[in-house]
Amino acid sequence: MTEISHWGRNGRRALAWGGGAILCCLILYGLYLLATLTLPRSEEHPPLLIYGTPFLLQPGLHIEEARLKERLDRLGYHQVTEEIKSSGDYRMTPEHVDIYLHDYPDGHMQAFPLRIVLEEGRIGQVLSLSQNEEVFPISLEPPLLSGMLGKSRQVREWVPIASIPRPVIDAVLAIEDHRFYDHPGIDPFAMARAAWTNLKSGEVVQGGSTITQQLAKNLYYSPQRTFVRKLKETMAAFILELKYGKNEILESYLNEIYLGQTGAVSIYGVGEAASRYFGKPLQELTIAETALLVGMIKGPNTYSPVKAPALAKQRRDVVLRRLRGEGYLSEQEWNEAVGSLLHVALSQESLTDAPYFVDYLLRQTEESTGGALPPGAKVMTTLDPVMQRIAETSLQTGLKRLEASYRSLKRKGETLQGALVALDPKTGGILAMAGGRDYRLSQFNRAVQARRQPGSLFKPLVYLAAFEASRESAVETVVTPASLILDAPVSFPTENGSWSPQNYDRQFRGTVTVRTALEQSLNVPAVRIAQSVGTHRITQLVRDLGIRSPMEENLSIALGTSEVSLLEVTAAFGALAQGGLVVSPTSIRSVVAPTGEPLWFAIIERHQAASPQSAYLVTSLLKGVVQRGTASRAKDMGLQGIVAGKTGTTDEYRDAW
């Protein structure tokens, strides 16, 4: 009996010591939280903002109503049927388009109303409605593409609690925490209900968290469901309630809540979500749109109106039902809201964040500006978001069509990949860049990082070198588009014996003109031209055109056997479009401080790599490639107008250009 009493006393003492130690740890942790926990505000840690290029409203420009509407909707403009009255309004008629512009994000232009006069599908005039006079140049403001906060790619718009509409607050409180203004950060009733549910299921399936607890979890802890994390979250919520008022906590919650993903960019806050999903300010949301947005809080990707519209509508109706039950909606408002169709202004495809382009931009920005940019800086880029969306869609469609038509392209364990770059040859600005099929699966940028043999795509540069050499009398026989070349079997000595180039169809055509040789992408004539010009002259011209990848100085260079990047080749072809003038590719136009002060401006680097005469001749040949040659199928696919281009394939058709 004595021994049992002895162990009983020791056990109670051990429990007391253990309990005391735990209590001390909790007190110390609480004091630590009291000293360190703060509510962040967006203006204290502003993200780096990345904007696309402004759309120039240039007289004479062909403009499609659907494309213009897409640009305006993307920028958050809203269409009206009457006279435009405030910033963000636009009105379309067959004769003109009236737009009340927004302020420019870099601060150099304030909002004002203008009219675009349409003449046979083109811009005739751009007039200021307030002054009734022509204005030019004038552009739509640049669209926001992405944002960076540290290493996280995200966009957010901080909205003060006083500017958040009451229906948004009512909906959040009704569905997430209807006792928010009554509890001290934790809700014992909700916790008891969640505990009972978890006990019945045998695992943690319900949290019972208050808005304050959710905020603490989002700001300070991982989403992992463990008892220790829940205890820390509870203590943090209690400390936040001690340090801050209810409205401050609610403001932070509504601005910090994660509300989905657009490509590689995370959306935070109800203000940014309203803009991204509905193309309008938070203050203009309908009851149905408000319920849809608030319903996403439970699971932003599960209840995404873009990815899962049926589930999103179900969740929206749950929120509406709760609002009706709490007395926030009248019978008429309830019927109108629950009966409305699910409407999202922006599709997943049109939420262009151009992740490959942004990666390239950030590297180029760091190299150009000499280091990291200050928080809140605005980077004005060259990217056209409409062209970017078209590029991404075209790449996806083209790859799927190839896989369907050529089953052999689908190799086990491999995905057919591609890349696309669009450049403005006058400025070198990158208008669109798709570095792969899906950035989420592969961040490798095939437009910049991949080196591939260009194959026949390289032949125009060989003929350009020949025309240049002829102008300088550096070859025995002058080469022109009408010059005759023998397309017949031939062998050239190499270190490993002899090399006999073949045409793609293993056929020879005898004597052909230079024009025919390039239009039909014949290999043997190209190699003969390279031999007469000299490989050193060709590689020197290639360097002048901006291609920095290593080049092998042998005759196979004429067939594009040296690997290059897509961006390099695109810039070289851009020089042909500019009469031999090379303009270095760039993704940046300028960098502006949060105050609006300019920090850095891009300087266009250009030099003459070839004569305008030689560039003109090659461009003429490339027009024939599209009209009559290997690229003539492009016309059957709907390509219109005067176009110059070149196809390219490598050995065994491994890569195609």
Catalytic residue set: 176, 456
Q: Is the sign of the CA dihedral 632, 634, 636, 639 positive or negative?
A: negative
C-alpha closest to that of 52 among 141, 112, 136: 141
How far apart, in whole angstroms, are the C-alpha atoms of residue 637 and residue 617? 26
First to last CA, the chain: 92
Report in angstroms the alpha-carbon separations of 20 from 23, 25, 235, 236, 529. 5, 9, 18, 21, 90
| Contact (Cβ atoms closer than 8 angstroms) between residue 503 and residue 477 | no
How far apart, in whole angstroms, are the C-alpha atoms of residue 320 and residue 337? 8
| Contact (Cβ atoms closer than 8 angstroms) between residue 233 and residue 215 | no
DSSP SS3 for 103: coil
How far apart, in whole angstroms, are the C-alpha atoms of residue 182 and residue 161? 19
How far apart, in whole angstroms, are the C-alpha atoms of residue 536 and residue 529? 13
DSSP SS3 for 102: coil
CB-based contacts of 209: which residues, under 8 Å, 6+ apart? 190, 217, 233
How far apart, in whole angstroms, are the C-alpha atoms of residue 240 and residue 246? 9
Residue type at 290 in one-letter notation: T
DSSP state of 495: T
Report in angstroms the alpha-carbon separations of 407 from 395, 415, 505, 651, 652. 18, 12, 21, 19, 15
DSSP SS3 for 98: strand
Six token digits for residue 91: 């009105």
DSSP SS3 for 568: helix
| Contact (Cβ atoms closer than 8 angstroms) between residue 87 and residue 78 | no
Q: CB neighbours (10 Å) of residue 492?
A: 14
Residues 215, 220, 223, CA angle at the centre, nearest 5°?
80
Cis peptide leading into 454, omega within 30 of 0?
no
Residue that has been written with the tokens 């209840």 in this structure? 303
Residues 354, 360, 366, CA angle at the centre, nearest 5°?
130
How far apart, in whole angstroms, are the C-alpha atoms of residue 534 and residue 547? 18
| Contact (Cβ atoms closer than 8 angstroms) between residue 217 and residue 223 | yes
Q: CB neighbours (10 Å) of residue 572?
A: 24
Q: Residue 109: which region, alpha, beta or left (left: phi > 0; alpha: psi -120 to 50)?
A: beta
How far apart, in whole angstroms, are the C-alpha atoms of residue 541 and residue 526? 16
Distance of CA 20 to the CA centre of its chain: 55
C-alpha closest to that of 426 among 221, 578, 557: 578
DSSP SS3 for 305: coil
